[in-house]
Amino acid sequence: VSRYEYAKKIIEFSKAAAEVIPVLSKDLNMKAKRPSNSSLGNSKIKKDFGLKIKYWDEALKDAVEKINEQ
């Protein structure tokens, strides 16, 4: 999931009136270089601790809903 897609989901779940504009990483002029893929695997922690981890978008929706309740 790109940062753009993640931001779009936040706007969708929060029902905010905002536009998300995609930009290329190279155009951000960031001081530190970031990898294009910084995803982490969760299979080991799920197996070792018997956890059931939600998909990222389900967890994000829950988090945004909790914020909206405040």
pLDDT tens-digit profile of 5-46?
999 999 999 999 999 999 998 888 888 888 888 888 999 999
Per-residue model confidence (pLDDT) at position 54: 94
How confident is the model at residue 63, as a pLDDT?
98
Structure tokens at 47: 């197996």
CA–CA separation, 46 and 4 (whole Å): 27
CB atoms within 10 A of CB 34: 10
Tens of pLDDT, residues 44-68: 999 999 999 999 999 999 999 999 9
Please report the pLDDT score of residue 28 as a whole number: 86
Q: What are the structural domain ranges in the chain? A: 3-25+40-69
pTM across the whole model: 0.78
